[in-house]
Each structure stands twice: as C-alpha cells, then as structure tokens.
Amino acid sequence: MGKIIAIANQKGGVGKTTTAVNLGGSFGVLEHKTLIVDADPQANATSGVGFDPSQTKNIYDCLINDVHPSEVILTTENPNLDILPSHIDLVGAELEMINMPGREGLMKKVLDKIKDKYDFILIDCSPSLGLITVNALTAANSVIVPVQSEYYSLEGLGKLLNTIKIIQGRLNTDLDIEGILITLYDTRLRLANHVVEELKTHFQDLVFDTVIHRNTNLAEAPSHGSTIIMHDATSKGAINYLNLAREIIQRHEANKLKEENNKISL
C-alpha cells in the first residue's frame, strides 16, 4: 500500500516542487512506483515532468466532479513515475469545496482509489495553508517540510507546525512529520550554516541527514520537462535527491519491519 507524503510549507520558493519532482524521480529510478499529486494551481510539477497543464484533465475534475483518478493520471518518461496533474482551475476548487460535505477529506477519497498501485505518493502543496493544503495533510501519512537555509525561513515554521498539530488533533491522528529538509544550501554562506545548526538544535532527529545543495542543474531541469535524474543523473542535485530517497526508503522499511515484529510478538 502506498505511503502518502505531503510536501508542505506555506512559504513559496523553498523547494517544494523541486523536491516533489526530483524525489519522485529518484524513487522511480530506485524502482519504487511513485505518483506525484500536483496540488498547486500553478501546476509547476505538472510542467516540470513535461506536460502542458492546459492540455490535460486534472485534479480539479477528481476533487469536484468525482472523475476517477486513473482517468487523469499520466505516465512520465520515467516508467515508475506518474503524475496527477493540476491546473489553474484549482483556485476555484477551494471555494467550491467549502460547501461540500466532508470538505477536508475529499483528496483522501480520491487517493484511496489508487493508492494500492504505488509505493509512494508525493503531494506537492501550494504556498498556502488553505483548504487544499488541509486536504493534502488529511490524506497524508506524513509530511516533508522543505526549509531554505536562510534566516527568514525559520519564521512561519511555527505556524506550519501548529497547523500540522491541529490536523493531527482533528482530522488525521496518524499524521507524522517525515522530516524537515534543508534546501538551497550554500556551503559558502556562514548564515546558511548557522540556520542548519539552529534547526538541528530545535528539531534534532526531525531534520533529514540529507541536505539539498544549491545546484543550477536543479533549476534548469524543469525547462527540459524532465527530472534531474532523467536529465543529468551525475549532477550534485541528482545525487542529493537520490540520497534523500534512500534515507526515506530505509526508514520506511525499518518501520515496516518493526510493525511486523510487534504483530508477531502480540
């Protein structure tokens, strides 16, 4: 059964979409079947893996018109990586959803229909804590919080963690924090090192061991409609995201083993 991981931070430009696309691509090359759910009306993940958002059916149809996601999902150039595309229409979905029954659980209902087909489902959230992001956090088993290694990145993190806590209390008691991911890291900047130290002091093991360095190949890959792994597998960006994928897979498998052992000893 697929593990659903939301990638969320209400701040824009921290590397959510870059992480969704390239972590997804890395899971794919490591032979873990992965779906990226583009939950941002800007549809950057959709175009980042090579599709024109105006030419495809999209997540709006699934959330509002009850279209089955298998009719909307597209396969990318990476055979283990699929995408549920987005579209600017998703802006309107937020308003339409307000009066729908079970409005926070609509994305979970959509993903329940297909989650058995995947090892991982990554939800690329928009830079907001609105109803669609609340839907993503309600559907997810865990959340990755990308944080840019800059001073102002720490502001707003408290608000996000508070939102996660509210969702854990009311809508999704099983929601875990998969990890805080340091992105756009520049070793030359003393401030970046300071931010990393501060994050590790506050959040300890919640911070991933893998750090994503600033790497221009990562910024360029979307213009080729391709993940870094398919475009330039030897670049630093590709290696960073492959390491992140391995870190998550290892932890996921260790947890599964622990659960099985607990069952046996009961």
Q: What residues line the site for ligand ADP (CB under 6 A)?
A: 12-18, 44, 127, 183-184, 212, 214-216, 218-219, 237
Binding Mg ion (rule: CB under 5 A), the pick from 17, 19, 46, 78 is 17
Q: What does the alpha-carbon distance between residue 10 and residue 128 come to, in Å, rounded to a whole number?
A: 4
Between 16 and 108, name the residue whose CB sits nearer to Mg ion: 16
Q: Give me the least distance between CB of 70 and ligand ADP, in Å please.
A: 26
State the Cα–Cα distance between residues 95 and 83, nearest whole angstrom: 24
CB-wise, 150 or 198, nearer to Mg ion?
150
Considering the complex, what minimum distance in angstroms separates the CB of residue 255 from ligand ADP? 27
Site string for Mg ion, 99-118 (x = CB under 5 A): --------------------
Q: Which is nearer to ligand ADP, 22 or 138 (CB)?
A: 22
Q: How far is the CB of 194 from ligand ADP (least distance, A)?
A: 19
Please say which residue, 162 or 216, places its beta carbon nearer to ligand ADP. 216
Shortest Cβ 9–ligand ADP spacing (Å) = 6
H/E stretch holding 83: strand 81-84
Supply 191's token pair: 């401030």
The least CB distance from residue 109 to ligand ADP, in Å, is 25
Cβ count near 200 (within 10 Å): 14
Distance between alpha carbon 216 and the CA centroid of its chain, in Å? 21
Helix, strand, coil fractions of the chain, as percent rounded to 5: 55, 15, 30
Q: Smaller CB distance to Mg ion: residue 17 or 76?
A: 17
Tokens for 77? Answer: 């150039």
Which residue is at the shortest CB distance from Mg ion?
17
12 vs 7, 42, 153, 154, 254, CA distance in Å? Answer: 12, 11, 10, 13, 33
φ, ψ (nearest 5 deg) of residue 88: -60, -25
Q: Contact between 87 and Mg ion (CB under 5 A)? A: no
Q: What angle do CA 43, 241, 8 make, to 5 degrees?
A: 45
Residue 86 CB, shortest distance to Mg ion, in Å, is 10
Q: Are 71 and 102 in contact (CB under 8 A)?
A: no
List phi, psi (to 5°) of 20. -60, -50
Task: Report if residue 47 touches Mg ion, rule: CB under 5 A.
Answer: no
Report if residue 16 touches Mg ion, rule: CB under 5 A.
yes
Is 9 an interacting residue with respect to Mg ion (CB under 5 A)? no
Residues that bind Mg ion (CB under 5 A): 16-17, 44
